[in-house]
Amino acid sequence: MDNTMYVALSRQMTLRRELDIVANNIANVDTTGFKVEGTLVRTEPSTGAKMIDGPASLKFVIDDGVTRDFGQGTLRQTGGTFDLGIEGQGFFKLQTDAGERYTRDGRFTLSPEGKLTTQAGDPVQGQSGDIVINPQLGAISIAADGTVSQGANKVGKIDVVTFDDLSSLSKTGDNQFRNTSNLQPQVSTAARVRQGMLEGSNVNSILQVTRLIEISRAYESMARTIENSAELSRRSVERLGRVA
């Protein structure tokens, strides 16, 4: 009976983790460029449950990582000069104090030095490094291929890069990702930069709320299983005591 309790408890632990992730998805339903996440769960055969007469068919459940859906979010019009959305697969490349980072969050601005940066001040990278703009030289336009121009003058070109294996991207906070592999990203030729637009979150709030309810019910079911198993153990001990 203890096996049943332990297996149910291991499932409750994974459900708690999944609950945190779903709650985070719902909290970021309006976050620019956010990508919905999920959990991977598997059984652990190396630590299977055991009965008094040998191994049992029960398996413990463990958390096996986080999945992330990099599907396209809806592009919405903002009209902001430095609001940029990516249509297609790809990421903006940033230079931060911790190294290169990648993001789909295109809420950019100009620093006092005229650099194109994130809201946190991280410079957006182009083919030649930082993108430096002098607003006094005229209106700023950004083409679909990332080319930044002021009138007839080309100021720079924003890099949009892609990865052969998106699983190599690890979330670091501030809607940014770090490349954990030794493979370098490639400049995308298919993605398009849309000036005056931002990409919304790809979270489906209805699906996430539904999943939240399912998790809550599954957690309650595991709690009842543990309670029932504990009650059976108590009754068994009482009967053994009466026989003795």
pLDDT band at 227 (very low <50, low <70, confident <90, very high): confident
pLDDT band at 109 (very low <50, low <70, confident <90, very high): very high
Distance CA 190, CA 88 (A): 7
Strand partners, 216: none
pLDDT band at 8 (very low <50, low <70, confident <90, very high): confident
pLDDT band at 195 (very low <50, low <70, confident <90, very high): very high
pLDDT value at position 90?
Answer: 93
What mean pLDDT value characterizes the chain?
Answer: 85
Among the residues of the chain, which ranges form H helices? 2-27, 205-243
Q: Which of 41-50, 121-130, 182-191 has the lowest mean pLDDT?
A: 41-50
Distance CA 224, CA 213 (A): 17
At 142, list the tokens. 């950004």
What is the pLDDT averaged over residues 33-54? 69
pLDDT value at position 55?
Answer: 55
pLDDT band at 125 (very low <50, low <70, confident <90, very high): very high
- Better-scored residue on pLDDT, 152 or 15: 15
pLDDT value at position 1?
Answer: 46
